[in-house]
Amino acid sequence: MPDYRLLPETLAENITHFDPNEIFENLHTALHDEGNDQVEVVEQFKYEQELDKSLLSLSSVVGLGFGLMSPVLGMCTSMSIGLKNGGPLTIIMGFLLSGISIWFCSLSLGEVVSKFPMELHGSSALLAPDSLKLICSWYTGWLMLIGNWTMSTSITYAGAQLTISLILMNNSDLISEANLIFFTVIVFYMVVTIVGLVNLKFSRFIEIINKICVLWIIYAIIFIDILLLIFHSGKFRSLKYALFHFDNHLSGYGSGVLSFIIGFQQSNFTLQGFSMLPALSEEVKRPENDIPRGMSNAVLLSTLSGVIFLIPILIILPDIDTLFTGHKILPIVNIFTKSTNSTVVSIFLVLMILGNLFFSGIGSITTSSRSVYSFSRDRGIPYHNLWTYVDPSSVSKVPKYSIWLSMAISYFLGLLALFSTAAFNAFIGAAVLCLCSATVIPLILVLFSRRRVIRNAPVKMKYKLGWIVNIISVLWLLLSMVSVCFPPQIPVTFQTMNYALIVYIFCLISITVLYFKWGKYNFQLPSVDEMNKPRKLKNESINTTTAVNGNNVSGYVPLQDLDSDSNTERLEPATSNPFDDDSATAIDKDRDTINSEQNSRELDLELATTEPNPFEEDERNK
C-alpha cells in the first residue's frame, strides 16, 4: 500500500516544515494506483535526441502550465462573457466546475502521456486499430497544431487589448475608433516578437522563467485582491451575492441554463492550455512521470488560485450595466477604475496582469513550436525537414524554424483583425474546439480499448475510478465544444456573430484535403523502438532482453510465478493490443512460438504459466 505524506497536525507550530506540494502529493497518491509490485511499461520511440533533455523539471512544467492557464490573465481579459451570461454565479461557479472537470481531463490525458510520452498524435497512432492509425494520428496532430497556434495568438492578442485599455484608461479619445484595431495589432506584433525572441535566444533560462511565473501570478493575486478591498470606495457586495447572484439580462437569452453553459467559454479559454503540455516531452528528463503530474498540478493550482482571485473582485463588483459603456476599454479595467476611483491604483493593478502576459506568451510560443517540431518528425507538415532542424552548435538547442513558423502564424492571424474582427474572433474561438478535439480522440480510443492499453502505465488511476474519470472527461470536452459555438449575446449582427464553428469545419475540411493530396503519401506513423522497451518494477530496472532456455528473447520480461513451489516463469509481452478481447492466453515457450508472438505487437496476453519444454538441438540451430 502506498505511503501517504500527512500534513502537519499543528500548522502554526510546524509552519517551517509545511510544503504546499504535499496537498497535491496526497491527492495524487489517493487517486493513482501505485502498487509496489506493479510492472511499468513506457513506449520508446526511434528519434534522435536533438533537444535539451534536461531543459525542464517537474516544477518548470507546472510553472509553464500555470502560465498558460493563468486565471489572472485569462479570466480578466474574457470577463465580459461571464458578466453578460449570469454574472457572479456563472463566473465563480462556472470556473470552479470547469476547473474540476478539466482536472479530470488532465488526469485522463496524463495516463495516456505516461504510456506514450510524446505529443498526442503519437498516442492516437498507437492507441488506434491498424486500419485507423494513420488517420487518427493525422487529425490529432493537425488539430493540436491549429489549437496551439490559435491559443497562442489569443493569449498575446488579449494582452495587446489590455495594453490598449491601459493607455485609454484616462482618455478614451486618445485613439480614434477607426485606428483602435490598428494600434491593437501593432502592440500585438510587439508582444509576439518579444516572447518569440526570448524562446529563440534565451531558452536556456526557460526553467528560471517558469518558476518566476508561479511567484508572479501568486503575488499578483495577493496584491490585486488586497488593494481592491482596501481602496474600494463603494459598498461591498455580500458573499452570497458574490457566489450565487445570477442575472443574464444582458445576454438576451431567455434560458438561464443556456446562459450558464455559454459562460463556460470564459473558463475554457483560461484552462484549456493543459493539453498543450505533452508537446514538451522531448525536453523533460522523465516525461512519463513529470508531464502527467505537471498537467494535473497546474490545473489544480490554476483552479484554486482562480477562485481566491475572483471572490474579492465579485465582492467589489460595480453595477454591471455601467461596465459596458464602450468597447475600447476591457470591463476588468472599468471594474478597477470604478471601484477604487484611483488612477494610480488602477494602473498598478493592470500592470500586475500585464506582467503575467510576458510569462503566458513565452509559454504559448514554446508549446506551439514544440508541437510543430514533434509533428514534423513524422513528416506531418510540408517542408518537415526545415521545421525539425536544430543547430547542434547552438547554446539553446531549440527548433528555431518551428519557433519562427509559430510566430508567423500569429502575425498572419493578427492581420485578420485589421480586415474583420469577426473573422479573427472566429479563429480564436476555434482554439478551444481544436484543442478539445485533439484531446478527446486519444481518450475515446482508451475507452474503446477498455483501458487495457494503460494498465502498465507508470501513472494511472485506480481501475474503477479511471473509468469514471475517463467518461466524465470525454463528456466535458464534448460539452465544451458545444458551449464555445454559441454567441455570448443575442440578437447578433454580422460583427457579433460567433463563427467559431464555421472556422472549425473549414479546418476539418482543409485537414482532410491535405491528407488525401499529400499526407497519405508522406506522413508516417511514429517510429517505435520494438527492441528496446524498458519495463521495470517499482524502483527497479529490468532488462528487456531476457535469456529463455539459453536464447535471447527481446521484448519480454520474466517474472517469477507467485507460487514459490513452481520453477516456471511467465512472460509478459512488451506491449499489447487493447482491441483483442482475449485477456488470458497460454504461451508455449517453444522458441518459434515466442518469436512469432514478439513480431505481433497487436496481441494482448494475460500470460499463464507453463512448464517449459527443452529445445531440440536442430530446432535451436534452425
Report residue 529's pLDDT band, with 50, 70 and 90 as the boundaries. low
Q: How confident is the model at residue 438, as a pLDDT?
A: 94
Mean per-residue pLDDT for 36-65? 76
Backbone angles phi, psi at 528, to 5 degrees: -95, 135
pLDDT band at 538 (very low <50, low <70, confident <90, very high): very low
Task: Enumerate residues 6+ apart whose C-beta is below 8 A from 596.
Answer: none
Percent over 90 (pLDDT), the chain: 46
**Mean pLDDT of all residues in the chain?**
80
Omega before 392 cis (within 30°)?
A: no
Amino acid letter, 206: I
| Separation CA 109–CA 464 (nearest Å) | 16
Contacts of 452 (CB under 8 A, 6+ apart): 576, 578, 583, 604
Cα separation, 550 vs 553, in Å, equals 9
- 72-77 average pLDDT score: 90
Q: Has residue 328 got a pLDDT over 80?
A: yes
Domain 55-522 superfamily per CATH? Amino acid/polyamine transporter I (1.20.1740.10)
- Crossing angle (nearest 10°) for helices 331-340 and 206-231: 40
Ranges of each domain in the chain: 55-522, 535-621
Could you report the per-residue pLDDT of 225-254, keeping only the tens digit for each?
A: 999 999 998 889 999 999 999 999 888 898
pLDDT of residue 112 exceeding 50: yes
**59 contacts 209 by C-beta, under 8 angstroms:** no
78-103, pLDDT tens digit by residue?
898 999 999 999 999 999 999 999 99
* Helical packing angle, 421-448 and 94-115, nearest 10°: 50
Q: How much is the pLDDT for 41?
A: 66
Q: How far is CA 180 from CA 150, 173, 306, in A?
A: 22, 10, 30
Other Cβ atoms less than 10 A from the Cβ of 46: the count is: 11
Angstrom distance (rounded) from CA 142 to CA 129? 19
Tell me the pTM.
0.80
Residue whose C-alpha is closest to residue 358's, from 70, 143, 47: 70
Strands (E), 210-303: none
* R_g (Cα) of the chain, nearest Å: 26
Instruction: Name which of 341-345, 347-351, 606-610 the model is least confident about.
Output: 606-610
Q: Are 78 and 270 contacting, i.e. CB atoms less than 8 angstroms apart?
A: yes
pLDDT of 137 above 60? yes
pLDDT category of residue 544 using cuts at 50, 70 and 90: very low
Helix 264-271 and helix 421-448, axial crossing angle in degrees, nearest 10: 70
Among 291-305, 468-482, 504-518, 589-603, the minimum mean pLDDT is found in 589-603
Q: How far apart are CA 444 and CA 132, in angstroms?
A: 13
Cell 510524446 locates to 118
Estimate to the nearest angstrom the gap between the alpha carbon of 579 and the chain centroid: 27
539: Cα separation from own chain's centroid: 28
Q: Which residue has the higher pLDDT, 402 or 323?
A: 402
Residue 61 Rama label (left phi>0; alpha psi -120 to 50; beta): alpha
* pLDDT tens, residue by residue, 16-44: 444 555 566 656 565 666 554 556 666 66
DSSP-derived secondary structure for 559-587: EE-S-TT---EEEEESS--TT-----EE-
